[in-house]
Chains A and B, each alone.
Chain A
């Protein structure tokens, strides 16, 4: 185990290298680029004996990964924002092909207007593609999660692709200490890929196929069932990882001081770190507040959210993107998860941090205050000038 100061992007690169990926394919886009530049170095120096296919688009990058995966290779790619949107069609292919591709995504806003800042609109737009989605809070979590994602994606009972998302700049270009596990330790955690149900040269078989309505339903149901197995498999994988490294990131949802909380914010990614500090401060002032960090967004950890609702009366869901015509994606999921459960706490949705706008301690504080004060508007855009009617009531 070595402690190194590195960016979130390099944490992605080193994790892919430790996972002994065999085929890498990528196309440059800010702020993902340094991930693949580092991998190009590692391949060029011979440190990582992999094929790096430099492609003419993100669409082709994902196609290379899907096709390479079909022959049994362990594959990696990374992208962001527009690049992820261009991949969209192939994301469905990866899941339908049951190709355990792992992808790093640097969460960045979507144009127009052009902007480079952190924003979850890119990955939220992909939430229905059949990919497992992780959102990381720290560079350490990035590295650990990429390794765990391979174990999960390649589990014979799952065989689904997984993306590990990190916020633009707040992780991608932020340097912080990361513990890098030894290769031998990673090898014992992550064995070579189980390549069942892939094409074998010389054997007549078709991967992909077309079907009528009857069989198509069965294909989709198989993907749905594989998704259902993810939370339990992840818990076991984290347990194994913890026994090797001592680190544990909380499974599908990481709770922070939520056990006896009156009000809990549901967070994702880097905003969680700031929120922890605010929780500690508010606790010191006597407020019973806490956090539930969605580490996994697909499959959505509905069971954990229902459990949270059993213990707390006020839940605020913080979304770093907005689904036009509805609400924040996480808020919608939380509401849906609670509907069928017995506990229906007050629910608010805070839209914050879009397009790289900072999520400050003041924002977190304000969200807790509003949540504790009572039932506010269901969806609240933070950090915008208050409209007159809200000023009047505030």
Chain B
């Protein structure tokens, strides 16, 4: 048997209520593999509220606390304060929130947590819309994507505005560590979590999280779509440690973004000129990222 490339212990349990092919489920599994059992997770209203199964069961092998959708940042500050006050050592504190609960309604609490230097990890799993309520656009929905509130009709071509840059917002707070991760690259994912685990202070993960029903693709394509997103530069993998950028996956020349769009029904209405506009932006962003890595 080949050596395992990610830790064997499972801290996310089977029996959960995620849709088939759910990347947020896989993301939690990988996150907990990196953090280990001495972890408390605070979860706002999001898909994971439901994925974790109804009372009296739980799908996590660690302690989990529910919080309302907009206050995950405050919740992990409270957990850390209690751990410090009670003398609880070696405890990982994780906020695990969706893109709406982070980049939209939860932005204030996230900013507060980063600014007061809470010693905790905040992870945003980005399925690029309000999926738990049935695919409504969020600030993190990309340009052109169909959602139920950005319909594709005669006069409308999906979301008219570009995606909010959550990494840029977080990095403006100068966290000790911030990284992008993608469940399609589990070794990179877990390595970054293990690295972040031993750092002290505010840490942030932006998790790419494809959603088969919301993005309109067959459930078996989740990993493939994730790979395409990274390999075409839509979701580059990098980490920023004390302000230093490091791109952790460079597969040579970027693949065209059309390969990523073609795989998903939410982009099926886009024409060549729409794709060309996104391609130009993605190429420019990638070059900017490489310049940031080189310090130029």
Q: Do A and B come from one complex?
A: yes
Query: B51-63: contact bitstring with A at CB < 8 Å (1 yes, 0 no)?
Result: 0101110101111
A201 touching B78 in the complex, CB below 8 Å, given contacts A59-B71, A68-B85: no
Would you list which residues of chain B between 252 and 283 have a CB under 8 Å from chain A? none
In whole angstroms, how far apart are the Cα atoms of A66 and B68 in the complex?
11
A71 touching B83 in the complex, CB below 8 Å, given contacts A53-B77, A202-B37, A215-B54: yes
In whole angstroms, how far apart are the Cα atoms of A254 and B166 in the complex?
55
In whole angstroms, how far apart are the Cα atoms of A367 and B88 in the complex?
57
A213 to chain B, nearest CB (A): 11
Among A59, A93, A210, A219, point to the contact of B50 (Cβ < 8 A). A210
Would you list which residues of chain A between 12 and 68 have a CB under 8 Å from chain B? 22-23, 25, 50-51, 53-57, 59-61, 63-68
Among A59, A66, A203, point to the contact of B63 (Cβ < 8 A). A203
In whole angstroms, how far apart are the Cα atoms of A56 and B88 in the complex?
25
Are A201 and B112 interface neighbours, CB within 8 A? no
- Chain B minimum-CB-distance residue to A23: B81
B281 to chain A, nearest CB (A): 32
Would you list which residues of chain B between 109 and 166 have a CB under 8 Å from chain A? 109, 111-112, 115-116
Among A68, A89, A201, A203, point to the contact of B81 (Cβ < 8 A). A68
Query: B31-72: contact bitstring with A at CB < 8 Å (1 yes, 0 no)?
Result: 000000111101000000110101110101111111110110
Are A68 and B63 interface neighbours, CB within 8 A? no
Among B38, B49, B58, B76, point to the contact of A67 (Cβ < 8 A). B76
Would you list which residues of chain A between 203 and 219 have a CB under 8 Å from chain B? 203-212, 215, 219
Let me know if B73 is at the binding interface, CB within 8 A.
yes
Let me know if B219 is at the binding interface, CB within 8 A.
no
Query: B11-43: contact bitstring with A at CB < 8 Å (1 yes, 0 no)?
Result: 000000000000000000000000001111010
Would you list which residues of chain A between 67 and 111 have a CB under 8 Å from chain B? 67-73, 89-90, 93
In whole angstroms, how far apart are the Cα atoms of A201 and B92 in the complex?
9
Let me know if A200 is at the binding interface, CB within 8 A.
yes
A67 touching B65 in the complex, CB below 8 Å, given contacts A53-B81, A201-B38: yes
Are B60 and A204 interface neighbours, CB within 8 A? yes
Interface of B, secondary structure class, is mixed
Among A57, A63, A70, A202, point to the contact of B38 (Cβ < 8 A). A202
Are A212 and B54 interface neighbours, CB within 8 A? yes
A206 touching B58 in the complex, CB below 8 Å, given contacts A65-B78, A89-B68: yes
In whole angstroms, how far apart are the Cα atoms of A54 and B113 in the complex?
10
User: Which chain A residues border B54 with CB–CB below 8 Å?
Assistant: 209-212, 215
Are B78 and A66 interface neighbours, CB within 8 A? yes
User: Which chain A residues border B60 with CB–CB below 8 Å?
Assistant: 204, 206
Let me know if B84 is at the binding interface, CB within 8 A.
yes
A68 to chain B, nearest CB (A): 4
Let me know if A199 is at the binding interface, CB within 8 A.
yes
A204 touching B68 in the complex, CB below 8 Å, given contacts A64-B77, A68-B78: no
User: Which chain A residues border B50 with CB–CB below 8 Å?
Assistant: 210
Are A63 and B63 interface neighbours, CB within 8 A? no
In whole angstroms, how far apart are the Cα atoms of A251 and B252 in the complex?
76
Are B49 and A210 interface neighbours, CB within 8 A? yes
B176 to chain A, nearest CB (A): 19
Are A60 and B66 interface neighbours, CB within 8 A? no
Are B78 and A209 interface neighbours, CB within 8 A? no
User: Which chain B residues border A69 with CB–CB below 8 Å?
Assistant: 78, 82
Among B66, B108, B111, point to the contact of A206 (Cβ < 8 A). B66
- Chain B minimum-CB-distance residue to A208: B66
Known: A53-B77, A71-B83. 5 other contacts (CB 8 A): A63-B68, A67-B67, A70-B79, A73-B85, A89-B68
* Chain B residues with a Cβ under 8 A of chain A: 37-40, 42, 49-50, 52, 54-56, 58, 60-68, 70-71, 73-79, 81-86, 88, 91, 108-109, 111-112, 115-116
A-B contact pairs, 11 of them (CB 8 A): A25-B77, A25-B81, A54-B116, A55-B116, A60-B74, A63-B67, A67-B78, A200-B63, A201-B39, A207-B64, A208-B67
* Chain A residues with a Cβ under 8 A of chain B: 22-23, 25, 50-51, 53-57, 59-61, 63-73, 89-90, 93, 199-212, 215, 219
